[in-house]
Structure 1
Amino acid sequence: MAVSVSAVVLLGIVVFVLIRGGYVRISHALACALLGFFLASTGAAPTITSAISTVTGWISSI
């Protein structure tokens, strides 16, 4: 749970900086957010969560 909250905060900051810098339009950020929201309700969500957990575990062991 702590990893997913941290990832959401980090990605939120990245998106905010990209929008402020003019690299990403608000409509593009909204489309990405909706994609993530709908992807979370599919059968791919457990696989993605497992992959993220594996990567964060690998990074923390370095």
Structure 2
Amino acid sequence: MFLTLPLVVVLGVVVVLLVRKSGLRPSHAVAAVLLGFYLHDSTLAPTISEAVQGVADVIGGISP
């Protein structure tokens, strides 16, 4: 059985874990979120999206 989680949820969990365990400060997490919002509106957004999709395809193509 395969579970599909949106990338946003996975990244959210990673940020929460980094804040709790690795000393990432909440202000740094907020800065990263704001950077993501500004990148979404930039000309780099399609390139970043294609790169993330390519990595997801490679990871999804790995058979156990």
Q: Which residue of 2 aligns with 1:11?
A: 11
Q: Quick check: which one's helix share is greater?
A: 1
Mapped to 2, the partners of 1:23 and 1:7 lie a distance apart of 23
Mapped to 2, the partners of 1:46 and 1:30 lie a distance apart of 23
Q: 5+ residue gaps in structure 2?
A: none
Q: Which residue of 1 aligns with 2:60?
A: 60
| Percent of aligned pairs sharing the same letter | 44
Count of residue pairs brought into register by the alignment: 59
Where in structure 1 do 4 or more consecutive aligned residues deviate above 2 Å? Answer: none
Mapped to 2, the partners of 1:41 and 1:26 lie a distance apart of 23
Mapped to 2, the partners of 1:25 and 1:33 lie a distance apart of 13
Q: Which residue of 1 aligns with 2:25?
A: 25
Q: CA RMSD in A?
A: 1.6
Larger radius of gyration: 2
Mapped to 2, the partners of 1:18 and 1:26 lie a distance apart of 10
Q: Which residue of 2 aligns with 1:46?
A: 46
Aligned-pair CA distance for 1:22: 5.1
